[in-house]
Amino acid sequence: MSDMQKTIEIEVLRYHPEKDKEPHRQVFEVPFTDDMSVLQGVQYIKDYLDGSLSFRWSCRMAICGSCGMMINGIPNLSCQTFLRDYYPARVRVEALAHFPIERDLVINMEGFIEKLESIQPYIIPKEERTLAQGEYLQTPEQLNAYEQFSSCINCLLCYAACPQFGLNSSFIGPAATALLHRYNVDSRDGGKAERMELINSEEGVFNCTAVGYCSEVCPKHVDPANAVNQNKTNSAADYFLRFLAPKGGAK
Amino acid sequence: MEIYKADVVIVGGGGAGLRAAIAVAEADPLLRIALVSKVYPMRSHTVAAEGGSAGVKQASDSLEYHFNDTVHGGDWLCEQDVVEYFVAHCTEELTQLEHWGCPWSRTPDGHVNVRAFGGMKIERTWFAADKTGFHMLHTLFQTSIKYPSIKRFDEHFCVDLIVEDGRVQGVVAIEIASGEFTLVEARSVVIATGGAGRVFRENTNGGVVTGDGMALAYRHGVPLRDMEFVQYHPTCMPGTGLLFTEACRGEGGFLVNKDGYRYLQDYGLGPAEPTPRNKAMELGPRDRLSQAFWYEQQKGRTIEGPHGSVVHLDLRHLGEKKLRERLPQIYELAEQFMGVDPAHAPIPVRPAVHYTMGGILVDGRCAAPLPGLFAAGECSSVGIHGANRLGSNSLSELLVFGKVAGVEAARHARAVAAGDSTRLLKQAQAVEQRVVGLKTKSGGSERIATLRKEMAQTMEDGCGIYRLAETMQTTCDKLDELKDRFRNVNLEDKSSVWNTEWLLAIELEYQLDVAQSMACSAINRRESRGAHQRLDGFEQRDDVNFLAHSQAHYVAGGPPRIDYGPVRITKSQPGTRAYGAAGEKAEQERKASNV
């Protein structure tokens, strides 16, 4: 029980649009145990100290993508970041950077959803196949070409890390580019030409200045910077090909 | 109040809800579909399913085998005609998902690979590493974007169904970001809100898994069927309950006690062999494995840890390369959350609540007794799981019955006329007034978290792996008390924007109703079957009196009324449920007696 008597301070960035003109900080003292995640600390605040604190969470195991926060200034999933790594110092949690704050730790992610919807994130079959014909054949190597980019949990840590997105929120950004790339390089897909029109646009990949911080913060090793840069190469090739072909290079 | 006129409204944006939405869109592109989900669809708890999804794939396998495994696994409390439909459509649906882009793991020649799973005679579990649910959910979500007739209401929290003229005609939802109410009118309503595992203390479930849709249907007179059957998954993280997939054992992992002994051989699951044999030892069904843990604990052969007794899930002999390839998420969970490198040390595990076998009573076409209402997935009881679900049947269920629910909801929407909007709005306004009242009332003194914690503890105490009348009665009484105290709940937050305290209160009220249906169904079942095991004189299965589905009927202000419905037996007569060598012997005897 002596373990339960240890406490840790969690400093939370609060903002309530119905009451506050601007965000402010509030410090809570939370019982500390060695195995507690930052999320569990924040949950303790809501359950026992201040029921009005708002944040998103669900799975607790780094797969639903809900609970991203700035933790001591670094974008992280709060469920897999542990208080022991900060104890006995105070931990600071804030809403993910570069997004509008709806309330407390809740950001508005509509813009991301629109980007995701815009890239045609579904198979546009290279060749039609009926269910009776069974599955498309795809070797482990072909799977390997896109699997990593299909592992994105849409947690948006990469957007919070991306300086370009911070400057220009219409930039398509790391996760959506990785997803676009995921479909483009899937052996079953034939929709690359349609998708490349978006990536070549003003808000496309050339906004990226290759900082690479997106890949560093990605909790799922998606490596969006790699996807962005592969698409820069694709885009550049497309750019020259468009002088030869009527519309886009890949058609 | 906002009003949206749809033809079909689907509540829940997980696997079943998304599959249903796509089915409606494909059945008739002119139907307007509203998909209402309290989280962005890709946050739904389907995302956390790990091991895989069952569908007959190999030449050595057959639909009959899958049928028998499922019915035996369910201890014969299955609707056998529905199981027959289910097994016949799994593979087609999994193939459909392949066509939609799901990154199924492959064999070297490019075919979809399958792995072994508990209680399954032949390897038939399709998998995408150990993130199968994640990939299925994202594939379905991303594919759903193709269909312009699907209008999503993301982060909209459903607070009631609108029932008028004896049929359901819409739902009322809160837009979480604003606190504003929306009435979604629709001629068909599909509930796909998932399970209710969060009513228990130690569970594998995400915070969203609070039985919302079950409670909504139940309060409108639809019975909840077989609610006493709650699955304990045998290999979970102590304390948090996070899941270590059955695929760990499908790939060859061992379960050992404090002496390093593979104890399952003492519980009718042997013989212990160095490589996994299907339907034996670590590949036995979940109910039997969780029960064996309980006995080991009684015998003092478990290991004491900071979060209770544990046994060891030993994966070391599989080697790091295979673990990284087949079980990458498990590897990271063990490393990051527990500081255990599973290639070099065993993982401490214990059982935790994982799955709600029962749910909203529906027929084989996903239709509830309330006209216009359909349900699919974990929230429903379509009848395939019986008293114990086999691992990897639930992901297939989402697809097969998500589609059926969508097709039937579309058919129903075309067959009936729209209702009287004025009357629907009047009802919706009354709902709004009631729900806002919960937030604005003053003078309460009970904390939500305190009530929730007491509920979860009493469910674990009374409705755990083994059950006694006395403790179940204590749980029933405690739930009465908690429902009473809920009326005195206090909300600190009276605001509108992102008021999650308000939503937690509404969820807690759903949970208390669902918990009560579980506890009351449990105490009334005076036998042992599948996941419902008693130690108070009812240790045996009793087919004479209890080869029957329990049905809990909502009673306002009191415990539910429990009655029983028949079980449809078509081709598998109830027999001895056995695994390991005993199971093989029983199967030979069954075959011999049929000849």
Instruction: Note whether B50 and B245 are within 8 A (CB).
Output: yes
From the CA of B50, how many Å to the nearest CA of chain A? Answer: 10
- Given a cut of 90, whether residue B592 has pLDDT beyond it is no
Residue B282, SS3 per DSSP: helix
Nearest CA in chain A to B452: A47
Q: How many Cβ atoms are within 10 Å of A11's Cβ, its own excluded? A: 15
- Given a cut of 70, whether residue B292 has pLDDT beyond it is yes
Structural domains in chain A, sorted by start: 2-107 (3.10.20.30), 110-241 (1.10.1060.10)
The closest CB to that of A63, out of B131, B177, B498, belongs to B131
Q: What residues form DSSP beta bridges with A101?
A: A107
Tens of pLDDT along B484-523? 999 999 999 999 999 999 999 999 999 999 999 999 999 9
- Given a cut of 80, whether residue B189 has pLDDT beyond it is yes
Mean of pLDDT values over B163-185: 98
CATH code for residues B232-353: 3.90.700.10
Residue B415, SS3 per DSSP: helix
Tens of pLDDT along B42-96? 999 999 999 999 999 999 999 999 999 999 999 999 999 999 999 999 999 999 9
The strand pair at B33-37 and B8-11 is best described as: parallel
Spatial distance between the Cα atoms of A126 and A187, rounded to a whole number of angstroms: 8
The closest CB to that of A150, out of B106, B135, B306, belongs to B135
The complex scores an ipTM of: 0.97
The closest CB to that of B95, out of A59, A134, A153, belongs to A134
Nearest CA in chain A to B96: A131
pLDDT given at position A231: 82
Where along chain B do its domains lie? 2-229+357-427, 232-353, 431-543
* DSSP strands (E only) in B249-307: 254-256, 303-305
Tens of pLDDT along B429-438? 999 999 999 9
Q: How many helices (H) and strands (E) does chain B have?
A: 16, 24
Region label for A219, one of left (φ > 0), alpha (ψ between -120 and 50) or beta (otherwise): alpha
Greatest CA separation for chain A: 75
CB contact under 8 A, A47 and B447: yes
A100: Cβ contacts below 8 Å, ≥ 6 apart: A107, A108
Q: How far apart are the first and last CA of chain A?
A: 68
Among B249, B312, B354, B412, which one carries the catalytic annotation?
Answer: B249
Phi, psi for residue A95 in degrees, rounded to 5: -60, 155
* DSSP strands (E only) in B167-274: 167-175, 180-185, 188-191, 224-225, 230-236, 254-256
The residue count for chain B: 595
Residue B322, SS3 per DSSP: helix
> What is B2-229+357-427's CATH number, 3.50.50.60, 3.40.50.150, 3.40.50.1980, 3.30.420.10?
3.50.50.60
> What is B431-543's CATH number, 3.40.50.11900, 1.10.150.530, 1.20.58.100, 3.20.20.70?
1.20.58.100
A140: Cβ contacts below 8 Å, ≥ 6 apart: B105, B106, B107, B108
Residue by residue, pLDDT tens for chain A (251 residues) are 454 589 999 999 999 999 999 999 999 999 999 999 999 999 999 999 999 999 999 999 999 999 999 999 999 999 999 999 999 999 999 999 999 999 999 999 999 999 999 999 999 999 999 999 999 999 999 999 999 999 999 999 999 999 999 999 999 999 999 999 999 999 999 999 999 887 777 777 877 888 899 999 999 999 898 888 888 877 777 665 555 554 443 33
Of the candidates B167, B164, B158, B172, the residue with the CA atom closest to the CA atom of residue B215: B158
Instruction: Please state whether the predicted TM-score (pTM) of the whole model is above 0.90.
Output: yes
CA dist A206 → A118, A198, A203, A227, B532 (Å):
18, 12, 8, 12, 60
DSSP 8-state assignment for residue B112: B
Tokens coding B176? 């979480």
Residue B243 sits at the chain A interface (C-beta within 8 Å):
yes
Nearest CA in chain A to B153: A110
Q: How many Cβ atoms are within 10 Å of A244's Cβ, its own excluded? A: 7
**pLDDT tier at B277, thresholds 50, 70, 90:** very high
A77: Cβ contacts below 8 Å, ≥ 6 apart: A62, A65, A67, A68, A155, A157, A219
Tens of pLDDT along B538-582? 999 999 999 999 999 999 999 999 999 999 999 999 999 999 999
pLDDT given at position B593: 82
Q: Which of residues 51-110 of A touch B (CB under 8 A)?
A: 51-52, 54-66, 80, 102-104, 106, 108-109
- Given a cut of 50, whether residue B314 has pLDDT beyond it is yes
pLDDT given at position A240: 59
From the CA of A134, how many Å to the nearest CA of chain B? Answer: 6
Nearest CA in chain B to A3: B306
B285: Cβ contacts below 8 Å, ≥ 6 apart: B73, B118, B119, B388, B390, B579
Specify the residue for token string 């809920």. Answer: B486
B111 is known as an active-site residue: no
3-state helix, strand, coil in chain A (%, to 5): 40, 15, 45
Burial A28-58 (b: 16+ CB within 10 A, else e): bebebeebbbbbbbbbbbbbeebbbbbbbbb
